[in-house]
Amino acid sequence: MPFVFDPTPQASVAVANSPDRFPVRRIFCVGRNYAAHAREMGKDPDREPPFFFTKPADAVADSPCTVPYPPLTEDLHHEIELVIAIGKGGANIAPDAVTDHIWGAGVGIDLTRRDLQAEAKKMGRPWDWAKAFDFSAPMSPLVPFADVASIEAGRIWLAVNGETRQDADISDLIWPVRDHIAYLSQAMSLAPGDLIMTGTPAGVGAVHLGDVMTGGVDGIGEIEVTIGDRD
Ligand code: MN
């Protein structure tokens, strides 16, 4: 059956040391998954179960890259995050079985229009305009790995123009990878190609035209993103 026009190309992310690409289906993001970041956003980290928001698959961009300063904001923030790539789908996945569903991992930046997010929170509106804009999910190349236990610790960091802004450890996650993916899979089925941005540590802040963000997760990879002109 023909389409009425050519479908949009499949969104995808690079795979480290390979010509292959990881096809992206959905991007799920965990909110406030590090206690110090929850506190800097004015929340009590001990009282909330994990919650999620999403970005569209075509928000990805391959590091290293220049992304345009997005419209409608004067307060664009960086959030460095460990990214988990799903290779096998499922629902109601038990924490101990999460490893069987993971293809690999990478490093992403959850770019955020913080002023629009603050307005959405105040008005009780969705976060889409704050989080789900074009180029809002730049990603490092993904690396395959064998066991979720191999990413339960490791330094996560981000610098702007060489100055460290975020510096923490994956072991600080309030809801570790196996737990928040199990929880997510109770709400909706996961499928191959899903990416999960696992939350950002403290130290989020603004970036401006010409700024260069560098960041990484030890043992997983590094990312470099420059802020370009508004489209
Ligand atoms: Mn985030």
Q: 117-171 pLDDT, tens per residue?
A: 999 999 999 999 999 999 999 999 999 986 777 888 999 999 999 999 999 999 9
Q: Under 8 Å CB-to-CB from 86, ≥6 apart: which residues?
A: 101, 102, 103, 190, 191, 192, 193, 194, 195, 196
Note the pLDDT of residue 1.
76
pLDDT for 2 = 92
Name which of 221, 208, 199 is nearest 144 in CA terms: 221
198 Cα: distance to centroid of ligand 1 (angstroms): 7
- What is the predicted pLDDT for the residue at 143? 96
Query: Coil, strand or helix: which one is 19?
Result: coil
pLDDT of residue 102: 96
Whole-structure pTM value: 0.96
**176-200 burial, b if ≥16 CB within 10 A, otherwise e?**
bbbebbbbbbeeeebeebbbbbbbb
Q: What percent of the chain has pLDDT over 90?
A: 87
Q: What is the pLDDT of residue 16?
A: 96
- Calculate how far, in angstroms, residue 52's C-alpha sits from the geometric centre of ligand 1: 9
Q: How high is the pLDDT of residue 147? A: 76
- 197 vs 201: CA distance, rounded Å: 12
pLDDT at 150: 80
Q: How many residues does the chain have?
A: 231
pLDDT(74) > 90 = yes
pLDDT tier for residue 76 given thresholds of 50, 70 and 90: very high
Give the whole-angstrom CA distance, residue 178 versus residue 176. Answer: 6
In the chain, where the domains are located: 20-228
How far is the centre of ligand 1, averaged over its atoms, from the C-alpha of 1 (Å)?
40
Whether residue 103 contacts residue 22, with contact meaning beta carbons closer than 8 Å, is answered with yes
Q: State the residue for tokens 């997983």.
A: 220
Residue 47 pLDDT class (50, 70, 90 cuts): low
- The CA 53 to ligand 1 mean position distance, Å, reads 9
Is the pLDDT assigned to residue 45 strictly greater than 90?
no
Superfamily of domain 20-228 in the CATH hierarchy: Fumarylacetoacetase-like, C-terminal domain (3.90.850.10)
Q: What is the mean pLDDT of the chain?
A: 95
Q: How far is the CA of 219 from the centre of ligand 1 (A)?
A: 21
